[in-house]
A and B are shown apart, each in its own frame.
Chain A
Amino acid sequence: MSKKILAVVLAALMLVSVFAFAGCGNKSENNTIKIGLSGPLTGAASIYGVAVKNAAEMAVAEINEAGGLNGYDFELIATDDAHDSKKVAANYTSMLDEGMQVSLGCVTSNPCLEFCKLSLEDNVFFLTPSASNDDVPAEANAYQMCFADGNQGKVAAEYVNGLGYEEIGIFYKNDDSYSNGIYNQFKENLDASIATVEASFDSSNETDFGTQINTLKDCQFIFMPIYYTPASIFMTQAIGKVADDAIYYGCDGFDGIDSAEGFDITTIPQKVSMLSHFDSNATEGRAAEFINKYTEKYGKETLNQFGASAYDCVYALYNAMKQAIENGKEITPDTEASDLCEILKEVFQGGFEHTTGVTGTEDQAIAWNEDGTVVKEAVAYIIKEANA
């Protein structure tokens, strides 16, 4: 009996000691400005998280090579949430413990909704590259680099209204908040005179769209607010079924479709176009420069607008901090996250413009609305004309 008690007491002591006194551990040497990021580095959504992590790492390395911010290097802490909102709190807290001063938030929308509230508690500034949910920038410390879903849906609907179709097809992912967010706003703003044929899929069924293609095959115009991986599968499977002169139209999720490995967009007979803030096929300007640097370092596989957006985020934060320092503020590795948040809020609200973005257009700088949503030009890219 006493043996048992001894065992249990020992176990309990061990547990308490492991937990409690870890709090006294000293922080690691602190001479970098730390940027936190939580994203899906593993699991089904990992392509987006890895793209963001790579591009952000690249931007950080470049900034450090150029001398950093006032002599202080940047450091990226990238944690894995596997697109699971359950894991965000632990990521956030551990990054805060490691000294995160400013953040890129989460890569995907659903986890980011959790991140928003957590960062509000400690007043940590974040600029998310790709969590496009409408509710993400609701709080004062939250900013987006990508277009909010609702806006994209609205802009797309206005565009479609002007095209004069009587019936269009919509193909969306019903368990994804990105797709749903655009879809809802699109439907709301679409002229009532335009009939819609709808088909959807979910994450348990992302590779075989035979049935959905069957539903949509008579449409001349198909709106697809989805990411490029399922879109490329849809297009491949739809060859010979959907009319060759039909048009596929997508949002920024389409971006990367023309560079996806193993998928040759020229084999698709239909016209493919999208409304986006980044052109992953750019051959000149800053976007092309980014594309070259990224492909050189990480290959073409994970090149997409997520990475471009993350690259812009890091530089925007850097520029904003630089501007704050010029205005007489002090930013060092010892600055508290909350103080830095106030400084950055002031900068971003004070008409800050990011002029060297690889997303948006060459001549218009990226700016932010008061509500934290981004102002930049969306361009309707024609990825591919219909084969004659």
Chain B
Amino acid sequence: MKNFKLSHYLNYIVIAIVGIVFTLLSFTGNVKSLYLLMLENILIAVLLSVSLSIVVGFLGELSLGHAGFMCVGAYLGGKASVLLEGVLGNTLINVIVSMLIGGIIAAIFGAIIGLPALRLRGDYLAIVTLAFGEIVRSIFMNSSKTSFGGSFGLSTPRYDKDYLFIVGFVVVLICLAVVQNMMRSKHGRAITAIRDSEIAAKATGINVTKYKLIVFTVSSFFAGVAGVLYSFTQYNVQSTNFSYNYSIEILVMVVLGGMGSINGSIIAATLITFLDVKLQTVLTGDLAVLQDFLYAIILIVIVIYNNAPGLKNFREGYNLNVLFDKISSRKNNPANIQDDEASWHRVPSKIQIDEVLSTKIQRDPTASIKPDKEGK
């Protein structure tokens, strides 16, 4: 295991540990049911944001129709689970089979939507994906009462709420494994190459068509799976829940997490869902109008703090990394130079002109001229 890098597996380990801790706690009855519910929501949000981050963060295409894929998964997977309930009952096998069905159908739709992505770029593609999401929603909304319930919603079985989150953890781990391995392989590098310059990528012989389709298919597969998981957290799946607003909410998670950072997406999805549910359950009665107000202010402040070029110096002076540096007081020890500075998700997409002009000397000048550790 010469090339084993703990940092590559850290997120699996952390998620698995959190999952196990919660499983143990819930078996001993130490977790409030509201928090189990929140956990389910968080896991769904994590699935959605990780799957969207491949399209937005790695392929560099803006998609506003992620909720549409989720809708396909929720309705078709949900319908499958209703039909299977007669045969399999509300069991784990039913959950797995439904997830596969919902995921695969969503993936097919993803491939179909990936086709215009070959021809359209940027905001034009964004509006096409938004249009797709609304079309899907509209079709389910107007379905007959016996097929998908129409405006009355589709009644689906709800899986035991004490255990569903365990399924969620496993699915998130599988999703992470697929996405992370894909992105760390040569395919992932090809995808980021397309993001940075499609023409250059083509020139180096990368099959742009193939990779774009792959990205859309994988991304929508997991969105579909998240949809099925969602249908198992609900008694009633309703198409109004999958409007473009929901797609935007997922996009917010991806952007807040940092473009092209899977771990960032996971953390942002967790925090935003937590914030959502907290605001919703704490601000009741007359205070309810404050929910969106606070959410909006928090959103604006975080985005500006994280992204404003003018705040760059401030950010670098006061952030968690600096805090940890101070705690561990290893700042000036050359032996502790970060060796994963150039790891795959840190590659800057484009060098901005103003960035070049205002480049600051790095905190640790030895970082760029450090000797190779292996001594090659």
Number of interface residues of B (CB under 8 A): 58
Q: With a CB–CB cut-off of 8 A, which chain B residues contact A4?
A: 7, 10
Q: With a CB–CB cut-off of 8 A, which chain B residues contact A53?
A: 285
Question: CB of B292 within 8 A of chain A?
Answer: yes
Q: With a CB–CB cut-off of 8 A, which chain A residues contact B291?
A: 42, 80
Q: With a CB–CB cut-off of 8 A, which chain B residues contact A93?
A: 33-34, 37
Given known contacts A7-B320, A175-B141, A84 and B285 CB-to-CB distance under 8 angstroms: no
Q: With a CB–CB cut-off of 8 A, which chain B residues contact A177?
A: 151-153
Q: Which residue of B lies closest to A118 (CB)?
A: B235
Residue B38 contacts which of A6, A11, A21, A90 (CB distance < 8 angstroms)? A90
Min CB gap A122→B, angstroms: 10
Residue B289 contacts which of A41, A78, A87, A176 (CB distance < 8 angstroms)? A41
Contact A22 B35 (CB under 8 A): yes
Number of interface residues of A (CB under 8 A): 55
Q: With a CB–CB cut-off of 8 A, which chain A residues contact B34?
A: 90, 93-94, 97
Contact A85 B280 (CB under 8 A): no
Min CB gap B323→A, angstroms: 9
Q: With a CB–CB cut-off of 8 A, which chain A residues contact B324?
A: 3, 6-7
Query: What sequence of 0s and 1s flags, for each residue 45-86 of chain A, a beta carbon within 8 Å of any chain B beta carbon?
Result: 000000001000100000000000000000011111001111
Contact B32 A85 (CB under 8 A): no
Question: CB of A180 within 8 A of chain B?
Answer: yes
Question: CB of A5 within 8 A of chain B?
Answer: yes
Query: Which residues 329-343 in B have Cβ within 8 Å of A in the complex?
Result: 330, 336, 338-340
Residue A8 contacts which of B10, B22, B292 (CB distance < 8 angstroms)? B10
Question: CB of A135 within 8 A of chain B?
Answer: yes
Min CB gap B269→A, angstroms: 12
Question: CB of B241 within 8 A of chain A?
Answer: yes
Q: Which residue of B lies closest to A4 (CB)?
A: B7
Q: With a CB–CB cut-off of 8 A, which chain A residues contact B7?
A: 1, 4
A interface, by DSSP: helix, strand, loop or mixed? helix
Q: With a CB–CB cut-off of 8 A, which chain A residues contact B270?
A: 15
Q: Which residue of A lies closest to B271 (CB)?
A: A15
B interface, by DSSP: helix, strand, loop or mixed? helix
Q: With a CB–CB cut-off of 8 A, which chain B residues contact A79?
A: 280-281, 284, 288
Given known contacts A3-B325, A19-B39, A79-B280, A117 and B6 CB-to-CB distance under 8 angstroms: no
Query: Which residues 175-190 in A have Cβ within 8 Å of B in the complex?
Result: 175-177, 180-181, 184
Query: What sequence of 0s and 1s flags, for each residue 214-241 of chain B, a beta carbon within 8 Å of any chain A beta carbon?
Result: 0000000000000000000111101011
Distance in angstroms between the alpha carbons of A85 and B142 in the assembled complex: 18
Question: CB of A192 within 8 A of chain B?
Answer: no
Query: What sequence of 0s and 1s flags, for each residue 8-51 of chain B, a beta carbon within 8 Å of any chain A beta carbon?
Result: 00100010011001100100001111110111010000000000
Q: Which residue of A lies closest to B237 (CB)?
A: A85
Distance in angstroms between the alpha carbons of A42 and B150 in the assembled complex: 24
Question: CB of B299 within 8 A of chain A?
Answer: no
Contact B151 A175 (CB under 8 A): yes
Contact A80 B21 (CB under 8 A): no
Question: CB of B315 within 8 A of chain A?
Answer: no
Distance in angstroms between the alpha carbons of A261 and B22 in the assembled complex: 52
Residue A180 contacts which of B35, B152, B289, B328 (CB distance < 8 angstroms)? B152
Considering the complex of A and B, which 4 residue pairs feature the smallest CB-CB distances, nearest first? A117-B235, A80-B288, A94-B281, A41-B288
- Name 15 A/B residue pairs within 8 A (Cβ), A-sorted: A3-B328, A3-B330, A12-B18, A19-B38, A23-B35, A41-B288, A42-B289, A77-B285, A78-B288, A79-B288, A84-B240, A85-B240, A117-B158, A133-B152, A174-B151
A-side interface residues toward B, CB under 8 Å? 1-9, 11-12, 15-16, 19-24, 41-42, 53, 57, 76-80, 83-87, 89-91, 93-94, 96-97, 110, 113-114, 116-118, 133, 135, 174-177, 180-181, 184
B-side interface residues toward A, CB under 8 Å? 6-7, 10, 14, 17-18, 21-22, 25, 30-35, 37-39, 41, 141-142, 145, 150-153, 155, 158, 233-236, 238, 240-241, 267, 270, 277, 280-281, 283-285, 288-289, 291-292, 320-321, 324-325, 327-328, 330, 336, 338-340
Question: A5-B10, A6-B328, A77-B285 known; 20 other A-B pairs, CB under 8 Å?
Answer: A7-B324, A9-B14, A12-B17, A22-B35, A23-B31, A23-B32, A42-B288, A76-B285, A78-B284, A79-B280, A84-B241, A94-B34, A97-B33, A110-B238, A113-B155, A117-B235, A117-B236, A118-B235, A174-B141, A180-B152
